[in-house]
Structure formats: C-alpha cells, structure tokens
Amino acid sequence: MSLDRRQFLAGGALLTSALMPLDHSRAQTAWTVLGQPVASVPWLRDVRRVIIDTDPGTDDLLAIIMMLGSTRITTEAITVTPGNIGYEQEVRNTLFLVQTLKNGTIPVHRGIDHPLLGRSYPAAGFIHGRYGFGDMVVPEVALKPAPDHAALAISRIVSAHPGEMVLLALGGLSNIALALLLDPSIARKARGIVIVGGRYEGIGTSVSFNAMVDPEAADIVLRSGLPIAMTGSLGETEMLTQADFDQIATFGTAKSALFLKSNAERLKFETEKRHKPGATYADPFAATMLLEPSVALQFEAVHVAVELSGTETRGSYVFGGTHIYTGDALPANVAICSRASHEIFRDTVFQALRA
C-alpha cells in the first residue's frame, strides 16, 4: 500500500521541522545518573513483542534465526530497510528466511527503498557477498510482501500494543524515521528501540555503517524521544571464531547448516583480510540483548547526535558535548552497551542454531 497524499504532506511538514529540538525526557527515565555507567536498562527486560527492521546480510540472517526461534518474544512483523546490499535482494532474502524458518507466517513489509534524501551510500557486499548471504543463491519463495508500507505497519502495530513493542533496528533507520515523521506518537507508544552500532570511547565521534546509510533518518530517531539502547562495538565479545564455526558444524540442524553456508565467506573475509581471530556479529548481539538481557553487563548514558554535513564525517555519531548557549552538558538520549558477556552471547547463538 502506498502512502496517501495526506500522510505524505504530514511527513513532509515534519521533515521540514526535523532540525527543531525534540523532547528527550522519556528517554532519560532509564537512568538515575546521566553520563555515568549504569548496570541495566529496565525496558530491555522481559520483552514480549518486537518488530525487526532489517537489511538482510549475513549477520541479519543469524539475528533473525535467533529471534524467530524465541518462545518468549513474538516477532509481529519484519520490515525491510536500505542497508547492506541492493534493496530487491534484501526483500528476496527476508521472504526466503520467513518462509524457511516460520513457513511464511510472519508478515514482511517493503519500506522505503532508499535513504530519506535519496543520497547514495557505500553498500557492504564486500563482507555480505553478492547475494547478501555470502555467495549462496537465494531462491524465490511463495511468500509475498504484505500490502502495507513498512512505515504504516510500524505505526499500526506499535499503536495496537502501547508500551509493549520494541523495534529491533538491524539496518539503516529510514523506515523507522519515516514512521516517526508520519506518526510522532510512536515515540511515546513504543517500549523502546535497539540500534546496532555506536562505538563509544568517550566524547568524540565514531563511524557506524547503519547511521552512514541514512544520516537524516538516524538524526530523526535520535531526537524523537524514543527510549534507545545501542549495542556499542564490542569486538571480540560479539565474535565467533573458527573454533565456534567448527562446533556449530557438529549441530547437524537445518539452521546451523544455513548459517554455515551463508557465513563462510564472512569468516574468511574477517580473518584473512582484516586479520581478526574471527567474525564479529553485531546484529546477533542486538538480538541477544533482547533474548538474554543479562548479556549486557554495563551501559553508558550518553548524548548521541549524528553528523549531517561533514565532508569526511557525514553519518558519524557524535558523543557527548555541551549546549551551545548555556554550556550545560547535553542530556543523555541513548544507553550504549559498554561491557558484555561473550559466553552468554555465544551460548545464546549456539542454542538458537541447535534448535
């Protein structure tokens, strides 16, 4: 279903005011001391409903396997967003996963197929392969996308379950930003959003692929008032080594076989080209934050913005800072995971692939 004229104009009006300051008061309620380490983010506990917004590459595949295998958390819908590879291949990959893992019983929604301002971005085929799942040719399946646009589906589902829905943002934030522009009430109705990325090492900047895909979308989400948790960038904490791959090969399940087939090239790239001891998996770590919240041992309450105009730094996250007029520290709007358990992460991955 396409957006109607009223929704388009409403979104346009909101987009023109996107640089206006937005209210962070609700986002701050997760922490008692802003700018300081905190042990947990309460809304991440006992999550029961999610919408997965994804750009299916190799790490998305594992995260989706994990989420769809949960008996506690219901995935209400999967929406497809710009990101890792070409958009049509992303849609094909998502339909294939839902057909394969859940017999097509979860709705898949097409969304906006480009960043909000239509600017190009560097895709990540170098690590995800030609088809997103390495060089595995993804077959067409019987399942077709649901009729309504991803942004409208997000608004509808969040409104139907106020205070319950968590948005699991595995890719660029275009769909979620568009949903917020069309329906700003999402920010107070959603339980929260988990965003992949956000390497935090104190006041400064860092590059995050998902923000670089659509910086304007990231800006809208960060200033929306949504309670936000970021995965951070935890290196070996979210890594699977060759030994882990070898152990997964002993599981003998359809899920483990699918993971190994689709991720062999990723492991090879990370170990041979980047000289790492294994492949890092930020998207599955984000899933683990919902499935096993105890994986996150510490968060940092931080003010996060995104650079929109830098010649070399567009799409970078900007951490910390002070108000331009008052000099006061900017209020925290994000909880970034700064320390986590590798053992819980790996065990959660293994449990999902054994099933």
The one-letter amino acid at 288 = T
Q: Quick one: tokens of 94?
A: 């998502």
> Rounded CA gap, 348 and 339, in Å?
17
Query: Residue 134 and residue 79: Cα distance in Å, rounded?
Result: 21
- pLDDT, residue 152, reads 99
* pTM for this entry: 0.90
Q: What is the pLDDT of residue 294?
A: 97
Helix (H) or strand (E) holding 284: helix 282-291
37-38 β-sheet, strand order: 37-38, 296-302, 334-340, 228-230, 192-195, 165-169, 49-54, 74-80, 108-110
What's residue 25's pLDDT? Answer: 45
- Tell me the DSSP string of 75-96: EEEEEE-S-SS-HHHHHHHHHH
DSSP category for residue 274: S
Out of 3.90.245.10, 3.40.640.10, 3.90.1200.10, 3.40.50.2300, which CATH number does the structure's domain 5-354 have? 3.90.245.10
Residue whose token pair is 């970034």 = 336
CB 175 within 8 A of CB 131: no
Contacts of 294 (CB under 8 A, 6+ apart): 341, 344
> What residues in the chain have per-residue pLDDT under 70?
1-36, 323-325
Instruction: Give the amino acid at 170.
Output: L
pLDDT score of 96: 98
Query: Do the Cβ atoms of 252 and 160 come closer than 8 Å?
Result: no
Mind listing the pLDDT tens digit for each residue in 144-193?
999 999 999 999 999 999 999 999 999 999 999 999 999 999 999 999 99
Predicted local confidence at residue 234, as pLDDT: 87
pLDDT, position 175: 99
Given a contact cutoff of 8 angstroms between Cβ atoms, the answer to whether 79 and 104 are in contact is no
CA torsion angle for 244, 250, 251, 254 (degrees, to 10)? 100
Q: Given this model, what pLDDT does residue 24 score?
A: 43
Specify the pLDDT at position 17: 43
A 10 A CB-CB count for 29 gives 11
Q: Which two tokens stand for residue 58?
A: 């190799």
Q: What is the DSSP letter of 137?
A: P
Instruction: Region of 55 please: left (phi>0), alpha (psi -120 to 50) or beta.
Output: beta
- If you count DSSP H runs as helices and E runs as strands, how many of each does the chain have, helices first? 14, 14
The 8-class DSSP code of residue 329 comes to B
Helix axis angle for 58-68 and 342-354, nearest 10°, is 70
Beta strands in the chain (DSSP E): 37-38, 49-54, 74-80, 108-110, 165-169, 192-195, 204-207, 228-230, 239-241, 278-280, 296-302, 304-306, 316-319, 334-340
* Predicted confidence (pLDDT) per residue in 199-232, tens digit: 888 888 998 999 999 999 999 999 999 999 999 9
Give the CA dihedral 60, 63, 65, 66, nearest 10 degrees: 180
> 133 near 61, Cβ under 8 Å?
yes
Dihedral of CA atoms 57, 58, 64, 65 in degrees, nearest 10, equals: 150
Domain spans in the chain, listed from the N-terminal domain onward: 5-354
